Amino acid sequence: MLEGVRLADLRPVQKLDPGSAPFDSLVNLLRAGQFRAAGIDAPFSLPDPHLPGGGYARLLAEIGALPPAGDRPFPLGPQLIGLAERYAPKQSAKPHRATERQWSRATPRSTLWWKPRGGAPFAAACMTLLHRAGRPIWPWKDAPGMLVEAFPAAQLLAWDLPHVNYTGADASPVRARIVADIERRQHIEITPAHRREMLRTPDALDAFIATFAGRAAANRTLKLEKPSSWKTEGAIAVHA
């Protein structure tokens, strides 16, 4: 969590509320809306041909109606792909939205690519989260407490920082360079404990980077203009 020029909080979702399931804790945190904008590192929508009529609210409602998988509180990637193919067959294995094509050099995952680390599982989880949180969602609505799509690799690319090969267990020197550059560039105050956590795990670093998507949308400091298809497909927010 960024408060002005200070990184105020950096915790894994498992530590938000030890008495609740992690996904429920995250839903509750976002639903409370005690922030100007929250960046989430996962895809918010589907390619235009695969969207139902009725706008983005209809898409979230249909995803919210999908039954959760037995081992998680959201549907599986193949369930999301099945929903998308009700409206149009896939024309390629990895169809991309226009906003993802804007950042093709950062190799975004297609929201309709099913693999264990493909885009469809992340999209299914994220859109279930958005549906349950019930918050305003940028770019469809710009309001206090809104949720914003982040893509850390694209943000690093925009800042001419290493956007690949920074996630490995032996890549802490690369992460140290990234943290130091963001600290200098954005004038952010980072505690030693938070710095150690970002050097220890790339998930913590990605969470930190995702906050700048929220800042870019809230402050209108976007690196690129929203694509023309944003009203259906949404947009990734990347800070200039």
pLDDT tens profile 154-195: 999 999 999 999 999 999 999 999 999 999 999 999 999 999
For helices 202-219 and 192-200, the axis angle rounded to 10 degrees is 110
Q: What is the pLDDT of residue 67?
A: 97
Domain of residue 47 covers 14-233
Pick the closest to residue 92 from 119, 129, 55, 52 (CA basis).
119
Question: Is the model's pTM score more than 0.85?
Answer: yes
pLDDT at position 36 is 98
**Contacting residues for 228 by C-beta, under 8 A, at least 6 apart:** 98
All residue ranges of the chain with pLDDT < 70 are none
Q: What secondary structure letter does DSSP report for 39?
A: E
pLDDT at 55: 86
Q: In whole angstroms, what is the distance from residue 109 CA to residue 149 CA?
A: 14
Residue 8 lies in a domain: no
Asked whether residue 2 is domain-assigned, the answer is: no
Chain position carrying tokens 């922030």: 35
Amino acid symbol at 204 = A
Tell me the two tokens of residue 101.
């094509």
Assess if residue 123 is contained within a domain. yes
104 is a domain residue: yes
| Residue found by looking up tokens 């109606």 in the block | 65
